[in-house]
Structure 1
Amino acid sequence: MLTATLTTTPRDDYVEFELTVENQGDESVTLSFRDARRAEFVVSDAAGDGEVWRWSDGRMFAQMLGSETLDAGESMTFEGVWDDPVPGEYVAIGELAAADADADAETHFSVESV
């Protein structure tokens, strides 16, 4: 069983995202990926006005199949950065990009005026 936690760290001119996926099961899990992307980060306006940023937008990923194995009790952390965010209240979702497993987490955060 995979579980996910998402941490956001607002800085002066960017926000760091860390999605940690942990295998809480008793056996190893092999995750299959369709390309080099391992995770996705999506930020929406906390007021419900829709998506304001997506980590993968404008990025190119190597088109190669890949896999990662998570042993029982092991975790992996994936990182992303949102540059120059507009001040406001947001909801972030971090999602594992595996083709054969689901793990996602959500958190609320604020970006203050600098």
Structure 2
Amino acid sequence: MTLEGALEADVRPTDGDSRTVSFAFTVTNAGSEPVELQFSDACKAEFVVRDGDREVWRYTEGRLFAQMLSREDLEPDGSSTYEAEWERPRTGEYTVTAELRTQEASCEARTSVTVPE
């Protein structure tokens, strides 16, 4: 089953407190057939924050994830949301990229985020 063109993605900052920025990455099956997402570990999405070309935070950096095969089925128009929390961000303007970590296809989204003083 091919996933190219079937998945659409969106990433947004969500409510957090003054010490964190939370992100929600939503993947939607825009195709007319069910899609099976297969994962090789417990981390289903990667989040990366950049200041220009410089990477300032990566969700998976310094974390361990259970090595286990899993899958999720997305029906047509169905979606799944993955979340991450960036702790102790510095004030500034950043770009966040979220990417689905499936075995068979890539799906990513990008947005800007402002961390106030």
TM range (shorter): over 0.9
Q: Where do 4+ consecutive residues of structure 1 move more than 2 Å? A: none
Aligned to 1:18: 24
Gaps of at least 5 residues in structure 2 are 1-5
Report the Cα distance in structure 2 between the residues aligned to 1:68 and 1:101, rounded to whole angstroms.
Answer: 14
Deviations 1:10-59 (A, max 9, x none): 531100000000001001000111111110100000xx241000001111
TM-score between both structures, scaled by the size of structure 1: 0.93
Give the Cα–Cα distance (whole angstroms) in 2 for the partners of residues 80 and 31 of structure 1. Answer: 19
User: Are 2:54 and 1:50 equivalent residues in the alignment?
Assistant: yes
Q: Verify: 1:36 aligned to 2:19, yes or no.
A: no
RMSD, aligned CA? 1.0
Matched position secondary structure for 1:26: coil
Question: Which runs of 5 or more residues in structure 1 are unaligned?
Answer: none
What count of residue pairs does the alignment treat as equivalent? 111
TM-score (norm 2): 0.91
Matching of residue 82 in structure 1 with residue 86 in structure 2: yes
Identity across the alignment (%):
45
